[in-house]
A and B are shown apart, each in its own frame.
Chain A
Amino acid sequence: MKRLVSVLILMFWLIATAGAVFAEEAKVEAPTPTPMATATEQAAPAQPAPTAEKPPIKADDVQKNANFVWTLVAAFLVFFMQAGFAMVETGFTRAKNAVNIMMKNLMDFAMGSLAYWAIGFGIMFGVSATGWFGTDGFFFSDFVKEKDPWLFAFWMFQVVFAATAATIVSGAMAERTKFASYLIYSAVVSALIYPVFGSWAWGGLFHGKGWLEKLGFVDFAGSTVVHSIGGWIALAGAIALGPRIGKFGKDGKPKAIPGHNIPLAALGVFILWFGWFGFNPGSTTAAIPDIAKIAVNTNLAAAAGTIGALMISWIMFKKPDASMTLNGSLAGLVAITAGCNNVMPTSAVILGFIAGILVVLSVVFIEKVFKVDDPVGAVSVHGVCGAWGTLAAGLFNAEGASMQIIGVQVLGIVAAFLWAFTTGYILFKMLKVTVGLRVTPEEELEGLDIGEHGNIAYPDFQVHQSKGV
Protein backbone atom coordinates (compact mmCIF):
# COMPACT_ATOMS: atom_id res chain seq x y z
CA MET A 1 0.00 0.00 0.00
CA LYS A 2 2.80 2.33 1.01
CA ARG A 3 4.63 1.52 -2.21
CA LEU A 4 1.51 2.21 -4.30
CA VAL A 5 1.11 5.63 -2.70
CA SER A 6 4.71 6.59 -3.40
CA VAL A 7 4.41 5.41 -7.03
CA LEU A 8 1.29 7.54 -7.43
CA ILE A 9 3.03 10.56 -5.95
CA LEU A 10 5.98 10.04 -8.28
CA MET A 11 3.71 9.76 -11.33
CA PHE A 12 1.85 12.89 -10.36
CA TRP A 13 5.12 14.76 -9.93
CA LEU A 14 6.36 13.59 -13.33
CA ILE A 15 3.18 14.67 -15.09
CA ALA A 16 3.24 18.04 -13.36
CA THR A 17 6.88 18.65 -14.35
CA ALA A 18 6.30 17.52 -17.93
CA GLY A 19 3.27 19.81 -18.14
CA ALA A 20 5.32 22.76 -17.03
CA VAL A 21 8.01 21.99 -19.61
CA PHE A 22 5.49 21.68 -22.44
CA ALA A 23 3.82 24.89 -21.39
CA GLU A 24 7.14 26.68 -21.67
CA GLU A 25 7.82 25.14 -25.08
CA ALA A 26 4.43 26.29 -26.28
CA LYS A 27 5.33 29.79 -25.22
CA VAL A 28 8.50 29.62 -27.31
CA GLU A 29 6.65 28.24 -30.32
CA ALA A 30 4.16 31.10 -30.30
CA PRO A 31 6.16 34.29 -29.87
CA THR A 32 4.54 37.64 -29.70
CA PRO A 33 4.23 39.00 -33.22
CA THR A 34 6.92 41.55 -34.09
CA PRO A 35 7.11 43.67 -37.22
CA MET A 36 9.36 42.05 -39.86
CA ALA A 37 11.52 45.12 -40.21
CA THR A 38 12.84 44.99 -36.65
CA ALA A 39 13.33 41.24 -36.97
CA THR A 40 15.75 41.58 -39.85
CA GLU A 41 17.53 44.55 -38.32
CA GLN A 42 18.47 42.59 -35.23
CA ALA A 43 21.19 40.50 -36.84
CA ALA A 44 22.59 38.46 -33.97
CA PRO A 45 21.18 39.11 -30.53
CA ALA A 46 23.64 37.83 -27.97
CA GLN A 47 21.29 36.92 -25.14
CA PRO A 48 17.53 37.35 -24.86
CA ALA A 49 16.79 40.45 -22.86
CA PRO A 50 15.37 39.69 -19.43
CA THR A 51 11.96 41.06 -20.34
CA ALA A 52 8.70 39.26 -20.98
CA GLU A 53 8.82 40.01 -24.71
CA LYS A 54 11.25 37.63 -26.39
CA PRO A 55 12.49 38.45 -29.88
CA PRO A 56 11.61 35.79 -32.48
CA ILE A 57 14.12 33.01 -33.07
CA LYS A 58 16.10 33.53 -36.24
CA ALA A 59 18.27 31.24 -38.36
CA ASP A 60 21.41 32.58 -36.69
CA ASP A 61 20.07 31.63 -33.27
CA VAL A 62 19.26 28.12 -34.43
CA GLN A 63 22.75 27.72 -35.84
CA LYS A 64 24.28 29.08 -32.65
CA ASN A 65 22.27 26.73 -30.47
CA ALA A 66 23.14 23.81 -32.73
CA ASN A 67 26.83 24.69 -32.36
CA PHE A 68 26.47 24.55 -28.59
CA VAL A 69 24.66 21.23 -28.69
CA TRP A 70 27.09 19.58 -31.10
CA THR A 71 30.21 20.84 -29.30
CA LEU A 72 28.92 19.67 -25.94
CA VAL A 73 27.68 16.28 -27.17
CA ALA A 74 31.10 15.77 -28.75
CA ALA A 75 32.76 16.78 -25.47
CA PHE A 76 30.69 14.17 -23.64
CA LEU A 77 31.75 11.53 -26.18
CA VAL A 78 35.38 12.46 -25.64
CA PHE A 79 34.85 12.26 -21.88
CA PHE A 80 33.71 8.67 -22.33
CA MET A 81 37.11 7.92 -23.88
CA GLN A 82 38.47 8.04 -20.31
CA ALA A 83 36.56 4.81 -19.74
CA GLY A 84 38.07 3.43 -22.93
CA PHE A 85 41.61 4.21 -21.80
CA ALA A 86 40.93 2.66 -18.39
CA MET A 87 39.66 -0.57 -19.95
CA VAL A 88 42.49 -0.85 -22.50
CA GLU A 89 45.13 -0.27 -19.86
CA THR A 90 43.74 -2.70 -17.32
CA GLY A 91 43.09 -5.35 -19.96
CA PHE A 92 46.71 -5.23 -21.11
CA THR A 93 48.14 -5.43 -17.59
CA ARG A 94 47.91 -7.88 -14.71
CA ALA A 95 44.97 -8.39 -12.35
CA LYS A 96 47.07 -7.45 -9.33
CA ASN A 97 47.28 -3.83 -10.58
CA ALA A 98 43.71 -3.33 -11.82
CA VAL A 99 42.55 -1.12 -8.93
CA ASN A 100 45.61 1.09 -9.35
CA ILE A 101 44.91 1.56 -13.09
CA MET A 102 41.30 2.54 -12.34
CA MET A 103 42.42 5.03 -9.70
CA LYS A 104 44.98 6.59 -12.04
CA ASN A 105 42.45 7.01 -14.85
CA LEU A 106 39.87 8.44 -12.48
CA MET A 107 42.26 10.78 -10.73
CA ASP A 108 44.05 12.17 -13.78
CA PHE A 109 40.67 13.38 -15.00
CA ALA A 110 39.71 14.84 -11.62
CA MET A 111 43.10 16.46 -11.00
CA GLY A 112 43.38 17.51 -14.64
CA SER A 113 39.93 19.17 -14.66
CA LEU A 114 40.79 21.43 -11.74
CA ALA A 115 44.31 22.16 -12.98
CA TYR A 116 42.99 23.02 -16.44
CA TRP A 117 40.31 25.26 -14.98
CA ALA A 118 42.76 27.06 -12.71
CA ILE A 119 45.82 27.38 -14.94
CA GLY A 120 45.87 25.28 -18.09
CA PHE A 121 43.08 26.93 -20.06
CA GLY A 122 44.50 30.40 -19.53
CA ILE A 123 47.95 29.32 -20.71
CA MET A 124 46.50 27.54 -23.74
CA PHE A 125 43.84 30.02 -24.88
CA GLY A 126 44.52 33.28 -23.05
CA VAL A 127 45.82 36.36 -24.84
CA SER A 128 49.34 35.47 -25.97
CA ALA A 129 51.56 38.47 -26.70
CA THR A 130 54.65 36.39 -27.46
CA GLY A 131 53.05 33.41 -29.22
CA TRP A 132 54.58 31.06 -26.63
CA PHE A 133 51.86 30.99 -23.92
CA GLY A 134 48.65 32.74 -22.90
CA THR A 135 48.50 34.99 -19.89
CA ASP A 136 44.86 35.53 -18.92
CA GLY A 137 41.57 33.72 -18.37
CA PHE A 138 42.66 31.73 -15.33
CA PHE A 139 39.75 30.40 -13.19
CA PHE A 140 37.35 31.65 -15.94
CA SER A 141 38.38 35.17 -14.90
CA ASP A 142 37.49 36.60 -18.33
CA PHE A 143 33.92 35.36 -18.07
CA VAL A 144 31.48 38.21 -17.55
CA LYS A 145 27.98 37.42 -16.35
CA GLU A 146 25.33 37.72 -19.04
CA LYS A 147 28.06 37.48 -21.63
CA ASP A 148 28.04 34.79 -24.28
CA PRO A 149 28.42 31.41 -22.49
CA TRP A 150 30.41 30.02 -25.43
CA LEU A 151 33.43 30.08 -23.11
CA PHE A 152 31.85 27.26 -21.10
CA ALA A 153 31.06 25.09 -24.13
CA PHE A 154 34.55 25.65 -25.52
CA TRP A 155 36.19 24.95 -22.14
CA MET A 156 34.20 21.75 -21.69
CA PHE A 157 35.40 20.52 -25.09
CA GLN A 158 39.01 21.49 -24.35
CA VAL A 159 39.21 20.01 -20.86
CA VAL A 160 38.37 16.51 -22.08
CA PHE A 161 41.16 16.86 -24.65
CA ALA A 162 43.63 17.85 -21.94
CA ALA A 163 42.52 14.81 -19.94
CA THR A 164 43.08 12.56 -22.96
CA ALA A 165 46.68 13.73 -23.26
CA ALA A 166 47.20 13.19 -19.53
CA THR A 167 45.73 9.70 -19.37
CA ILE A 168 47.81 8.34 -22.28
CA VAL A 169 50.83 8.35 -19.97
CA SER A 170 49.19 6.11 -17.37
CA GLY A 171 49.45 3.01 -19.57
CA ALA A 172 53.14 3.33 -20.37
CA MET A 173 53.95 3.78 -16.67
CA ALA A 174 51.59 1.02 -15.51
CA GLU A 175 52.32 -1.57 -12.82
CA ARG A 176 55.26 0.17 -11.12
CA THR A 177 54.57 3.91 -10.54
CA LYS A 178 53.93 5.40 -7.09
CA PHE A 179 50.36 6.66 -6.91
CA ALA A 180 51.25 9.93 -5.17
CA SER A 181 53.80 10.68 -7.88
CA TYR A 182 51.21 10.06 -10.56
CA LEU A 183 48.80 12.53 -8.93
CA ILE A 184 51.42 15.29 -9.05
CA TYR A 185 52.28 14.42 -12.65
CA SER A 186 48.54 14.68 -13.59
CA ALA A 187 48.27 18.20 -12.24
CA VAL A 188 51.51 19.41 -13.88
CA VAL A 189 50.72 17.99 -17.31
CA SER A 190 47.21 19.50 -17.40
CA ALA A 191 48.32 22.84 -15.97
CA LEU A 192 51.57 23.37 -17.89
CA ILE A 193 53.06 20.83 -20.30
CA TYR A 194 49.97 20.17 -22.42
CA PRO A 195 48.62 23.77 -22.48
CA VAL A 196 51.93 25.38 -23.48
CA PHE A 197 52.25 23.29 -26.61
CA GLY A 198 48.51 23.65 -27.17
CA SER A 199 48.88 27.44 -27.20
CA TRP A 200 51.51 27.20 -29.96
CA ALA A 201 49.19 25.26 -32.28
CA TRP A 202 45.62 26.05 -31.19
CA GLY A 203 45.69 29.33 -29.22
CA GLY A 204 44.01 31.15 -32.11
CA LEU A 205 40.85 29.07 -31.68
CA PHE A 206 40.07 31.41 -28.78
CA HIS A 207 41.98 34.47 -27.56
CA GLY A 208 45.58 33.37 -28.18
CA LYS A 209 47.83 33.30 -31.22
CA GLY A 210 50.61 30.71 -31.26
CA TRP A 211 53.83 30.85 -33.29
CA LEU A 212 53.25 27.41 -34.82
CA GLU A 213 49.76 28.11 -36.12
CA LYS A 214 51.00 31.40 -37.63
CA LEU A 215 53.30 29.30 -39.84
CA GLY A 216 50.30 27.28 -41.08
CA PHE A 217 50.71 24.11 -38.99
CA VAL A 218 47.84 21.67 -39.67
CA ASP A 219 46.62 19.60 -36.73
CA PHE A 220 42.85 19.66 -36.90
CA ALA A 221 41.96 17.52 -33.87
CA GLY A 222 45.28 16.86 -32.21
CA SER A 223 47.48 14.05 -33.59
CA THR A 224 50.38 16.12 -32.30
CA VAL A 225 48.78 18.51 -29.80
CA VAL A 226 47.06 15.74 -27.84
CA HIS A 227 48.42 12.32 -28.85
CA SER A 228 52.08 12.93 -29.59
CA ILE A 229 52.40 15.14 -26.52
CA GLY A 230 50.90 12.36 -24.39
CA GLY A 231 52.98 9.72 -26.17
CA TRP A 232 56.32 11.50 -25.72
CA ILE A 233 55.65 12.20 -22.03
CA ALA A 234 54.79 8.50 -21.77
CA LEU A 235 58.17 7.65 -23.32
CA ALA A 236 59.96 9.93 -20.84
CA GLY A 237 58.05 8.30 -17.98
CA ALA A 238 58.78 4.74 -19.09
CA ILE A 239 62.48 5.55 -19.46
CA ALA A 240 62.69 7.36 -16.11
CA LEU A 241 60.96 4.43 -14.36
CA GLY A 242 62.78 1.54 -15.99
CA PRO A 243 61.16 -1.75 -16.99
CA ARG A 244 58.90 -3.88 -14.80
CA ILE A 245 60.58 -6.66 -12.85
CA GLY A 246 60.81 -9.70 -15.14
CA LYS A 247 60.25 -7.81 -18.40
CA PHE A 248 63.78 -8.38 -19.70
CA GLY A 249 65.84 -11.53 -19.15
CA LYS A 250 69.47 -11.47 -18.03
CA ASP A 251 70.46 -11.55 -21.71
CA GLY A 252 68.32 -8.44 -22.30
CA LYS A 253 65.76 -10.41 -24.29
CA PRO A 254 62.22 -9.07 -23.76
CA LYS A 255 59.74 -11.44 -22.14
CA ALA A 256 56.01 -11.25 -22.52
CA ILE A 257 53.90 -10.27 -19.53
CA PRO A 258 50.42 -11.11 -20.80
CA GLY A 259 47.54 -8.82 -19.91
CA HIS A 260 44.84 -10.25 -17.68
CA ASN A 261 41.71 -9.49 -19.69
CA ILE A 262 41.67 -9.15 -23.48
CA PRO A 263 37.84 -8.79 -23.58
CA LEU A 264 38.10 -5.68 -21.35
CA ALA A 265 40.86 -4.29 -23.57
CA ALA A 266 38.64 -4.89 -26.61
CA LEU A 267 35.74 -3.12 -24.90
CA GLY A 268 38.09 -0.23 -24.26
CA VAL A 269 39.06 -0.01 -27.92
CA PHE A 270 35.40 -0.04 -28.98
CA ILE A 271 34.69 2.77 -26.51
CA LEU A 272 37.65 4.78 -27.80
CA TRP A 273 36.61 4.27 -31.42
CA PHE A 274 33.10 5.48 -30.47
CA GLY A 275 34.48 8.43 -28.52
CA TRP A 276 36.63 9.41 -31.48
CA PHE A 277 33.43 10.32 -33.36
CA GLY A 278 33.30 13.18 -30.86
CA PHE A 279 37.03 13.82 -30.84
CA ASN A 280 37.43 14.45 -34.59
CA PRO A 281 34.02 15.59 -35.90
CA GLY A 282 33.55 17.61 -32.70
CA SER A 283 36.70 19.59 -33.39
CA THR A 284 34.69 21.71 -35.84
CA THR A 285 33.08 23.11 -32.63
CA ALA A 286 30.23 23.96 -34.99
CA ALA A 287 27.22 22.07 -36.33
CA ILE A 288 28.25 22.17 -39.99
CA PRO A 289 28.11 19.58 -42.81
CA ASP A 290 31.91 19.02 -42.62
CA ILE A 291 31.36 16.67 -39.70
CA ALA A 292 30.11 13.95 -42.08
CA LYS A 293 33.36 13.83 -44.06
CA ILE A 294 35.40 13.95 -40.86
CA ALA A 295 33.42 11.04 -39.39
CA VAL A 296 33.91 9.00 -42.58
CA ASN A 297 37.66 9.71 -42.62
CA THR A 298 37.90 8.78 -38.94
CA ASN A 299 36.11 5.49 -39.42
CA LEU A 300 37.98 4.49 -42.58
CA ALA A 301 41.39 5.19 -41.06
CA ALA A 302 40.51 3.17 -37.96
CA ALA A 303 39.31 0.25 -40.06
CA ALA A 304 42.40 0.36 -42.28
CA GLY A 305 44.68 0.61 -39.23
CA THR A 306 43.05 -2.46 -37.71
CA ILE A 307 43.56 -4.45 -40.92
CA GLY A 308 47.16 -3.23 -41.29
CA ALA A 309 48.04 -4.35 -37.76
CA LEU A 310 46.24 -7.66 -38.25
CA MET A 311 48.20 -8.44 -41.42
CA ILE A 312 51.63 -7.49 -40.14
CA SER A 313 51.16 -9.29 -36.81
CA TRP A 314 49.93 -12.39 -38.62
CA ILE A 315 53.01 -12.37 -40.84
CA MET A 316 55.49 -11.59 -38.04
CA PHE A 317 54.11 -13.78 -35.25
CA LYS A 318 52.41 -16.56 -37.28
CA LYS A 319 49.13 -15.88 -35.45
CA PRO A 320 46.95 -12.73 -35.57
CA ASP A 321 47.78 -11.18 -32.18
CA ALA A 322 44.63 -9.70 -30.57
CA SER A 323 46.35 -7.01 -28.52
CA MET A 324 48.36 -5.78 -31.52
CA THR A 325 45.25 -5.69 -33.70
CA LEU A 326 43.47 -3.64 -31.03
CA ASN A 327 46.47 -1.27 -30.99
CA GLY A 328 46.07 -1.07 -34.78
CA SER A 329 42.55 0.38 -34.48
CA LEU A 330 43.86 3.08 -32.16
CA ALA A 331 46.86 3.72 -34.42
CA GLY A 332 44.53 4.44 -37.35
CA LEU A 333 42.42 6.75 -35.18
CA VAL A 334 45.41 8.67 -33.86
CA ALA A 335 46.88 9.03 -37.36
CA ILE A 336 43.73 10.48 -38.97
CA THR A 337 43.18 12.97 -36.15
CA ALA A 338 45.44 15.69 -37.61
CA GLY A 339 44.23 15.47 -41.19
CA CYS A 340 40.61 14.36 -40.75
CA ASN A 341 39.33 17.67 -42.16
CA ASN A 342 41.80 18.20 -45.01
CA VAL A 343 42.38 14.78 -46.61
CA MET A 344 40.15 12.70 -48.88
CA PRO A 345 38.69 9.34 -47.74
CA THR A 346 41.07 7.34 -49.97
CA SER A 347 44.00 9.08 -48.27
CA ALA A 348 42.46 8.26 -44.89
CA VAL A 349 42.51 4.56 -45.80
CA ILE A 350 46.14 4.71 -46.92
CA LEU A 351 47.43 6.68 -43.94
CA GLY A 352 45.42 4.52 -41.51
CA PHE A 353 46.74 1.31 -43.03
CA ILE A 354 50.31 2.55 -42.77
CA ALA A 355 49.69 3.52 -39.13
CA GLY A 356 48.47 -0.03 -38.40
CA ILE A 357 51.71 -1.49 -39.76
CA LEU A 358 53.82 1.21 -38.12
CA VAL A 359 52.39 0.61 -34.64
CA VAL A 360 53.31 -3.10 -34.63
CA LEU A 361 56.85 -2.43 -35.89
CA SER A 362 57.23 0.37 -33.36
CA VAL A 363 56.08 -1.74 -30.39
CA VAL A 364 58.60 -4.45 -31.27
CA PHE A 365 61.36 -1.91 -31.99
CA ILE A 366 60.91 0.08 -28.76
CA GLU A 367 60.99 -3.14 -26.76
CA LYS A 368 63.79 -5.01 -28.54
CA VAL A 369 66.11 -2.16 -29.50
CA PHE A 370 65.45 0.62 -26.96
CA LYS A 371 64.69 -1.87 -24.16
CA VAL A 372 61.90 0.41 -22.94
CA ASP A 373 58.95 -1.31 -21.23
CA ASP A 374 55.64 0.16 -22.40
CA PRO A 375 53.01 -2.37 -21.25
CA VAL A 376 50.16 -1.10 -23.44
CA GLY A 377 52.00 0.35 -26.45
CA ALA A 378 51.09 3.96 -25.60
CA VAL A 379 54.31 5.42 -27.01
CA SER A 380 53.85 3.63 -30.33
CA VAL A 381 50.13 4.30 -30.65
CA HIS A 382 50.10 7.95 -29.58
CA GLY A 383 53.65 9.23 -29.99
CA VAL A 384 54.78 7.49 -33.17
CA CYS A 385 51.40 7.30 -34.97
CA GLY A 386 50.61 10.86 -33.85
CA ALA A 387 53.80 12.05 -35.54
CA TRP A 388 53.00 9.97 -38.64
CA GLY A 389 49.46 11.36 -38.78
CA THR A 390 50.73 14.93 -38.54
CA LEU A 391 53.15 14.33 -41.40
CA ALA A 392 50.41 12.56 -43.37
CA ALA A 393 48.09 15.57 -42.94
CA GLY A 394 50.67 17.52 -44.97
CA LEU A 395 51.49 14.75 -47.48
CA PHE A 396 47.86 13.92 -48.27
CA ASN A 397 46.54 17.50 -48.12
CA ALA A 398 43.55 17.56 -50.50
CA GLU A 399 44.47 21.08 -51.67
CA GLY A 400 47.89 19.83 -52.70
CA ALA A 401 51.08 19.24 -50.74
CA SER A 402 54.11 21.47 -50.96
CA MET A 403 57.56 21.36 -49.42
CA GLN A 404 56.56 24.36 -47.33
CA ILE A 405 53.49 22.63 -45.83
CA ILE A 406 55.45 19.45 -45.13
CA GLY A 407 58.30 21.49 -43.65
CA VAL A 408 55.95 23.17 -41.18
CA GLN A 409 54.41 19.81 -40.26
CA VAL A 410 57.88 18.37 -39.55
CA LEU A 411 58.75 21.46 -37.51
CA GLY A 412 55.62 20.91 -35.41
CA ILE A 413 56.42 17.21 -34.92
CA VAL A 414 59.98 17.98 -33.80
CA ALA A 415 58.88 20.85 -31.54
CA ALA A 416 56.32 18.57 -29.86
CA PHE A 417 58.92 15.89 -29.22
CA LEU A 418 61.50 18.29 -27.82
CA TRP A 419 58.99 20.08 -25.60
CA ALA A 420 57.06 17.09 -24.25
CA PHE A 421 59.94 14.64 -23.86
CA THR A 422 62.26 17.15 -22.21
CA THR A 423 59.75 18.67 -19.80
CA GLY A 424 58.30 15.22 -19.06
CA TYR A 425 61.74 13.77 -18.34
CA ILE A 426 62.67 16.66 -16.05
CA LEU A 427 59.34 16.31 -14.21
CA PHE A 428 59.78 12.58 -13.64
CA LYS A 429 63.41 12.98 -12.55
CA MET A 430 62.32 15.65 -10.05
CA LEU A 431 59.59 13.36 -8.73
CA LYS A 432 62.18 10.59 -8.44
CA VAL A 433 64.40 12.58 -6.08
CA THR A 434 61.51 14.08 -4.06
CA VAL A 435 58.44 11.87 -3.47
CA GLY A 436 59.91 8.90 -5.34
CA LEU A 437 58.69 7.62 -8.69
CA ARG A 438 58.67 3.87 -8.30
CA VAL A 439 57.24 1.49 -5.72
CA THR A 440 59.48 -0.99 -3.87
CA PRO A 441 60.29 -4.31 -5.62
CA GLU A 442 58.30 -6.17 -2.94
CA GLU A 443 55.24 -4.03 -3.59
CA GLU A 444 55.62 -4.40 -7.34
CA LEU A 445 55.70 -8.19 -7.05
CA GLU A 446 52.75 -8.30 -4.71
CA GLY A 447 50.79 -5.86 -6.86
CA LEU A 448 50.07 -2.16 -6.49
CA ASP A 449 46.44 -2.81 -5.61
CA ILE A 450 47.39 -3.98 -2.14
CA GLY A 451 50.50 -1.84 -1.69
CA GLU A 452 49.02 1.49 -2.86
CA HIS A 453 45.30 1.12 -2.19
CA GLY A 454 44.75 -1.79 0.21
CA ASN A 455 42.18 -3.30 -2.18
CA ILE A 456 42.14 -6.11 -4.66
CA ALA A 457 40.16 -5.94 -7.89
CA TYR A 458 38.76 -9.46 -7.87
CA PRO A 459 38.51 -10.71 -4.28
CA ASP A 460 36.41 -13.74 -5.22
CA PHE A 461 38.94 -15.06 -7.72
CA GLN A 462 42.26 -16.64 -7.03
CA VAL A 463 44.78 -14.61 -8.99
CA HIS A 464 47.57 -16.87 -10.16
CA GLN A 465 51.08 -15.61 -10.72
CA SER A 466 52.05 -16.47 -14.26
CA LYS A 467 55.46 -17.99 -14.90
CA GLY A 468 58.43 -15.72 -15.45
CA VAL A 469 56.85 -12.71 -13.80
Chain B
Amino acid sequence: MKKIEAIIKPFKLDEVKDALNKIGVQGMTVTEVKGFGRQKGHVELYRGAEYDISFIPKLKVEIVVSDDMMEKAVSTIEMKAKTGKVGDGKIFIYSVNEVVRIRTGEKGNSAI
Protein backbone atom coordinates (compact mmCIF):
# COMPACT_ATOMS: atom_id res chain seq x y z
CA MET B 1 0.00 0.00 0.00
CA LYS B 2 1.19 3.50 -0.78
CA LYS B 3 0.40 6.92 0.60
CA ILE B 4 0.36 9.69 -1.99
CA GLU B 5 0.78 13.22 -0.69
CA ALA B 6 0.24 15.94 -3.29
CA ILE B 7 0.77 19.68 -2.79
CA ILE B 8 -1.41 21.39 -5.37
CA LYS B 9 -2.83 24.79 -6.34
CA PRO B 10 -6.06 25.33 -4.38
CA PHE B 11 -8.24 25.94 -7.43
CA LYS B 12 -7.22 22.55 -8.88
CA LEU B 13 -8.81 20.56 -6.06
CA ASP B 14 -12.14 19.83 -7.70
CA GLU B 15 -10.59 18.53 -10.92
CA VAL B 16 -8.17 16.30 -9.02
CA LYS B 17 -10.89 14.99 -6.73
CA ASP B 18 -13.28 14.15 -9.58
CA ALA B 19 -10.58 12.41 -11.61
CA LEU B 20 -9.44 10.34 -8.62
CA ASN B 21 -13.03 9.35 -7.87
CA LYS B 22 -13.40 8.20 -11.47
CA ILE B 23 -10.44 5.81 -11.26
CA GLY B 24 -11.75 4.33 -8.01
CA VAL B 25 -10.03 6.23 -5.21
CA GLN B 26 -12.65 6.27 -2.47
CA GLY B 27 -11.38 8.74 0.11
CA MET B 28 -8.97 11.57 0.65
CA THR B 29 -7.81 14.04 3.29
CA VAL B 30 -7.30 17.69 2.33
CA THR B 31 -5.43 20.29 4.40
CA GLU B 32 -4.87 24.00 3.79
CA VAL B 33 -1.13 24.64 3.89
CA LYS B 34 1.31 27.45 3.12
CA GLY B 35 4.81 27.20 1.77
CA PHE B 36 7.40 28.11 -0.80
CA GLY B 37 9.59 26.38 -3.35
CA ARG B 38 12.38 27.55 -5.59
CA GLN B 39 10.61 30.84 -6.39
CA LYS B 40 10.72 31.91 -2.71
CA GLY B 41 7.32 33.62 -2.83
CA HIS B 42 6.85 37.06 -4.36
CA VAL B 43 6.82 40.78 -3.47
CA GLU B 44 3.69 42.93 -3.46
CA LEU B 45 3.02 46.62 -2.78
CA TYR B 46 0.58 47.91 -0.14
CA ARG B 47 0.17 51.69 0.14
CA GLY B 48 3.44 52.12 -1.74
CA ALA B 49 5.52 49.97 0.64
CA GLU B 50 6.83 46.54 -0.31
CA TYR B 51 5.96 43.37 1.49
CA ASP B 52 6.99 39.76 0.91
CA ILE B 53 4.49 37.02 0.43
CA SER B 54 6.94 34.24 1.36
CA PHE B 55 4.35 31.57 2.03
CA ILE B 56 1.89 30.92 -0.73
CA PRO B 57 -1.37 29.11 0.10
CA LYS B 58 -1.62 25.55 -1.23
CA LEU B 59 -3.67 22.45 -0.55
CA LYS B 60 -2.22 19.15 0.61
CA VAL B 61 -4.15 16.12 -0.67
CA GLU B 62 -3.43 12.83 1.03
CA ILE B 63 -4.68 9.48 -0.30
CA VAL B 64 -3.75 5.86 0.41
CA VAL B 65 -4.04 3.28 -2.43
CA SER B 66 -3.08 -0.32 -3.13
CA ASP B 67 0.29 -0.89 -4.83
CA ASP B 68 -1.25 -1.63 -8.23
CA MET B 69 -3.32 1.58 -8.15
CA MET B 70 -0.36 3.78 -7.32
CA GLU B 71 0.94 4.56 -10.84
CA LYS B 72 -2.50 5.41 -12.14
CA ALA B 73 -3.34 7.65 -9.19
CA VAL B 74 -0.05 9.55 -9.43
CA SER B 75 -0.40 10.13 -13.16
CA THR B 76 -4.00 11.26 -12.68
CA ILE B 77 -2.99 13.87 -10.08
CA GLU B 78 -0.06 14.97 -12.20
CA MET B 79 -2.26 15.42 -15.27
CA LYS B 80 -5.10 17.23 -13.50
CA ALA B 81 -3.05 19.53 -11.21
CA LYS B 82 -0.76 20.74 -13.99
CA THR B 83 -0.97 24.29 -15.37
CA GLY B 84 2.58 24.36 -16.74
CA LYS B 85 3.45 27.46 -14.68
CA VAL B 86 5.68 27.68 -11.59
CA GLY B 87 3.99 26.69 -8.37
CA ASP B 88 2.10 23.63 -9.64
CA GLY B 89 3.33 21.72 -6.60
CA LYS B 90 4.84 18.30 -5.86
CA ILE B 91 3.82 14.70 -5.25
CA PHE B 92 5.42 12.57 -2.52
CA ILE B 93 4.95 8.79 -2.29
CA TYR B 94 5.46 6.74 0.88
CA SER B 95 5.10 3.09 1.75
CA VAL B 96 2.35 2.28 4.22
CA ASN B 97 2.82 -0.58 6.73
CA GLU B 98 -0.74 -1.15 7.76
CA VAL B 99 -4.26 0.29 7.46
CA VAL B 100 -7.05 -0.31 9.95
CA ARG B 101 -10.70 0.59 9.49
CA ILE B 102 -11.75 1.64 12.96
CA ARG B 103 -15.44 0.70 12.68
CA THR B 104 -14.97 -2.94 11.62
CA GLY B 105 -11.39 -3.74 12.48
CA GLU B 106 -10.60 -4.73 8.85
CA LYS B 107 -6.94 -4.57 7.90
CA GLY B 108 -4.81 -4.25 4.75
CA ASN B 109 -6.13 -3.51 1.24
CA SER B 110 -9.76 -4.13 2.20
CA ALA B 111 -9.55 -1.36 4.81
CA ILE B 112 -8.49 1.31 2.26
Contact = CB atoms under 8 A, between A and B. Distances in A.
The answer to whether A and B interact is: yes
B46 interface: yes
B109 interface: no
Question: Main secondary structure on chain A at its contact with chain B?
Answer: mixed
A363 B47 contact: yes
Contacts of A368: 48
A319 B54 CA distance: 20
A467 B49 contact: no
Contacts of A255: 49-51
A257 B48 CA distance: 11
B111 interface: no
Nearest to B48: A364
A467 B54 contact: yes
B71 interface: no
Interface in A422-469: 466-468
A468 B52 contact: yes
Contacts of B46: 256-258, 321, 323
15 contacts: A255-B50, A256-B46, A256-B47, A257-B51, A258-B46, A258-B51, A319-B45, A321-B45, A321-B46, A321-B48, A323-B47, A363-B48, A367-B49, A368-B48, A467-B54
Nearest to A248: B49
B54 A256 contact: no
A317 B50 CA distance: 10
Contacts of A323: 46-47
A256 B50 contact: yes
B54 A318 contact: no
A368 B48 CA distance: 10
Interface in B30-76: 44-55
A56 interface: no
Contacts of A467: 51-55
A409 B52 CA distance: 44
Q: How large is the interface on B (under 10, 10 to 19, 20 to 34, 35 or more residues)?
A: 10 to 19
Question: Among the interface residues B45, B48, B51, B53, which one has the most CB atoms of the partner chain A within 10 A?
Answer: B48
Contacts of A364: 47-48
Q: Which A-B residue pairs are the 9 nearest by beta carbons?
A: A256-B46, A256-B51, A256-B49, A364-B48, A254-B49, A317-B45, A258-B46, A467-B54, A323-B47
A321 B51 contact: no
Nearest to A360: B48
A316 B51 contact: no
Contacts of B49: 254-256, 367
A332 interface: no
Nearest to B49: A256
A321 B47 CA distance: 7
A336 interface: no
Given A256-B49, A318-B45, A466-B51, 18 more contacts: A254-B49, A255-B49, A255-B50, A256-B51, A258-B51, A316-B48, A321-B47, A323-B46, A360-B48, A364-B48, A367-B48, A367-B49, A368-B48, A377-B47, A467-B52, A467-B53, A467-B54, A468-B51
A324 B51 contact: no
B51 to A, nearest CB: 4
Nearest to A319: B45
A318 B48 CA distance: 10
Nearest to A323: B47
A317 B54 contact: no
A364 B53 CA distance: 21
Nearest to A258: B46
A256 B52 CA distance: 9
A257 B44 CA distance: 11
Contacts of A363: 47-48
A270 to B, nearest CB: 20
A408 to B, nearest CB: 35
